[in-house]
Structure 1
Amino acid sequence: MSGLLYICDYGNNSDSDEYEVENKLPELKRSKKLPVPNLSHIPAVSVEQHIDNPDLHNGRVRSFPHVRGNWATFVYVKYDDEESLVKFATKLQNLLLGVKDLFNLCDDFHLSLSKTVVLNYHTIVPFTQSLKEVFCDSERFYLGFDNIDVLCNEEKTRTFIVLKADYFSVKSLTSLVKKVDNVLGEFKLEKFYKEPSFHISLLWAKGDHKGKLESLLENVNKVISTEVVRKLESVLIDKVYCKSGNKFYKYSLE
C-alpha cells in the first residue's frame, strides 16, 4: 500500500507542475519611452514665395506667374548680326516723333517659332530630344525682312515695333513651326498662332499704343523701307534654339 501511495503522490505532483509551467506567461518588459527631441535650436525653413516686381524689369509684367518647378520654354531663331539691329532700332526710335520716350530698346533680338509654354523639370529632356529629332532633316535658309509693324501682346500690356520677315523667309519659318507644333502637341502644350506673324521685336512700350502708332508708322515705313533693304542683309539661318528656364539648346539645320 505504501508503494502505491508514493506512485499516486508522484503522479499528482508531476501533473500539477506541468500545468503550472504551461500556464505561466513570460513577463514582458516595457521598453522605455524615448524622449521627445528638442528642435527649438533648428531654424524653420520657410517655403520660398516668388513675388514678381515689375519695377525690376522696366515695368514688364509676367504673362503667367512664376512657380517653382515650372520652366518657361520657347523655340526661336536668331539674326546673328545684332549690332546692325541695334543701329537700325535706334534710328527707328528717333523717327517716332512725339512718342520716342515711350519706347525702350529690346534686350533680346530673336524670332519666335512658338509661344512661351511651361515645362516641368522632368519633361525638359524628352521635349528637347523630340525637337532634335524633328529638326534633323530641316533645311537651312536665308532670313530677310521687308517692313516694320506694330503689335501688342495678348494681355495688351505691351506694344512692340517689329521687323517683319519677308515672303521667302515665311515659307521656311512656317515649315519649322509645323514641326515645333507637332512636338508641342505630343506634350499637350499650346501650339503657335494659326496665322503667325514672323518678326523680330525691336522696341517696346508699356500699355497699348497700337492705334496711336499705326498711322505714324505709315510714314515711317516709307522712310525706313530702303534702310531695311540696304542695311539689313539676309542672314543664313542654320540653327534653331530652345530656351527652357536658364537652359539653352541648339539644333543644326542641314
Structure 2
Amino acid sequence: MALVQYSESESESEPEFQQPPTKRPRQTIHNQSSSLPPLPAAFHDLYASSTRVSVRDDPSLHGGRKRVIPHVEGNWPTHIYLEWYPFKEELSTLSDAIAQIEGSLDGHGTELHSLLHSDLGARLPLHISLSRPVVLRTEHRQQFLEGFEAAMKKSNIAGFEVTPKSLDCVSNYEKTRWFYVLRAERPEDDNLNRLLSLSNRCLARFEQPLLYESPQDAIASLMAQGTATRRPGVTRVGEQAVGNYSHCFHISLAWSLTDPSPQEKEQIAKMDLRKVHGLKLRFDCVKVKIGNNISSIPLFSGGV
C-alpha cells in the first residue's frame, strides 16, 4: 500500500510536515554516491507527491494533521514557493538546530516532527512560501499558470541568495499546527518582496486570498501601473509597488500539534545559531504546484 501524505498546499498556510526519519540498518554496499553528479532539479518535481489511498481526511495517517482544504471535484490546491534542497553538510547543521529545539521544549509533551526527512529517511526539500494554499478551478489552471509565467518573464527578477537570521515559532492560519522556522534576511535587490508582490497580484486576479499582504494593497498595486504614490514601507521597482514583508519570510524546519509555552519560546530564541547563519540558500527558479503538477519557472539569468 502506498504511503499517504498531504502536500503543503493542502495542509496549511505556511507549509511543511513529515515525520522524523526512522533508523534503518546499515547496508554493505560500496559507497560510490560521492562520485555521481547530483540529480537535476526537475527530477524531484516528478516525484514530489505520493499516491493517495483515500480522499477522506484521516489524521491518524498524518501524525495528527488535519486537512484544511477538502477534496472537491474541480478544485485544484495551488501553492507558489521557492524550493531548497540542503546538501549533506547543511542537513547536519539543520539537524543540530532541531536537536537544540527539542532540548528547549523541556519534555512537556510537545512532540516535534522534523521536515528534513520523510518517515522512510528520504531527504525532503525545504521552501519559502510565496503564496497561501489556495484553490483554483479547473477552467482557471492554465490561464493562471500562463499569466504567472508571463509576469515572471516581464519582471526580470534574477536568481539570488538568502541567509537565515533567527529562529522563531509560528502557527498556521488555522492555529492547528506550530512551525519552528528560520527567519530570512532581506536579500539583495529585495527579490523576496518583489516575488511576493508578483504572486499576490496574479492571485488577486482570480480572487484568491493573499499571503501577508492585505487585499487593499494588492488592489492598489494592480491599479497603480506605475502611477501609485510612495507610501511608508513601500518601495518602487519599475512599474511595481512593493511592500516590505521581510519580517514574514521563513523556512520551516519542524512542526508540532501544540503551542510551546512562553518559557520554551524564550529558550528557543536564545539558541546558538552561529552555524546556521553561515548557510547560503540559492534560488534560481520559482515553483508553482497545481494539484500534483509542479511547474518550475526560472528566474532571470542575465542572458539574452
The interval holding the TM-score normalised by the smaller chain is 0.7 to 0.9
Q: Which moved more, 1:60-69 or 1:127-136?
A: 60-69
Shift of residue 138, structure 1, vs aligned partner: 1.9
2:18 alignment counterpart: none
User: Residue in 1 aligned with 2:254?
Assistant: 203
After TM superposition, the structure 1 = structure 2 runs for residues 36-55 of structure 1, keeping only pairs within 5 Å, are 50-55=55-60
| 2:203 pairs with one of 161, 172, 184 | 184
Bigger shift: residues 211-220 or 147-156: 211-220
Correspondent of 2:267 among 210, 213, 216: 216
Output aligned runs, 1:66-105, within 5 Å. Answer: 66-95=71-100, 96-97=102-103, 98-99=106-107, 102-105=111-114
Map Cα deviations across residues 90-112 of structure 1 (whole Å, 9 max, x no partner).
Answer: 21222132249610111541110
Alignment of structure 1 residues 131-210 onto 2, 5 Å? 131-136=148-153, 137-168=156-187, 171-194=190-213, 195=245, 197-209=248-260
Contact 1:77-1:241 at 8 Å conserved across structures: yes
SS in 2 for 1:173: helix
User: Does the CA-based 8 Å contact 2:76-2:135 persist in structure 1?
Assistant: yes
Which residues of 2 match residues 49-68 of structure 1 at below 5 A? 50-68=55-73
Letter in 2 for 1:72: P
SS of the equivalent of 1:110 reads strand
| Distance verdict in 2 for CA 1:130–1:145, change over 3 Å | same
**More divergent stretch after superposition (141-150 vs 208-217):** 208-217
CA distance in 2 between partners of 1:82 and 1:118 (Å): 32
Question: Root-mean-square deviation (CA), in Å?
Answer: 2.1
SS of 2:67's equivalent? coil
Deviation at 1:180, TM superposition (A): 0.7
Q: Match of 1:132, as an amino acid?
A: E
Counterpart code for 1:228: V
Percent identity of paired positions between Structure 1 and Structure 2: 27
The corresponding residue for 2:143 is 126
What is the deviation of 1:122?
A: 1.9
Matches within 5 A, 1:11-30: none
- For each residue in 1:15-39, what CA deviation from the matched residue of structure 2 results, as whole angstroms up to 9, or x when unmatched? xxxxxxxxxxxxxxxxxxxxxxxxx
Confirm or deny that 1:248 pairs with 2:299.
Answer: no
Q: Distance in 1 between matches of 2:297 and 2:180?
A: 28
Pair member with larger Rg:
1
CA pair 169-113 structure 1, distance change in 2 beyond 3 A: farther
Structure with the bigger percentage of helix: 1
Query: 1:210 Cα deviation (Å)?
Result: 5.7
Preserved contact between residue 150 and residue 210 of structure 1 (Cα < 8 Å): no
* C-alpha spacing 1:190/1:212, structure 2 compared with 1 (3 Å): same
Partners of 1:160 and 1:65 in 2: CA distance? 22
Q: Which residue of structure 2 lines up, in the alignment, with residue 40 of structure 1? A: none
What TM-score results when the alignment is normalised by the length of structure 1? 0.73
Is 1:152–1:210's contact at 8 Å kept on the other side of the alignment? no
Q: Per the alignment, do residues 169 and 116 of structure 1 end up closer, same or farther by CA in structure 2, a change over 3 Å counting?
A: farther
Q: Which runs of 5+ in 1 are unaligned?
A: 1-48
Q: Judging changes above 3 Å, is the alpha-carbon distance between structure 1 residues 147 and 171 closer, same or farther for their aligned structure 2 residues?
A: same
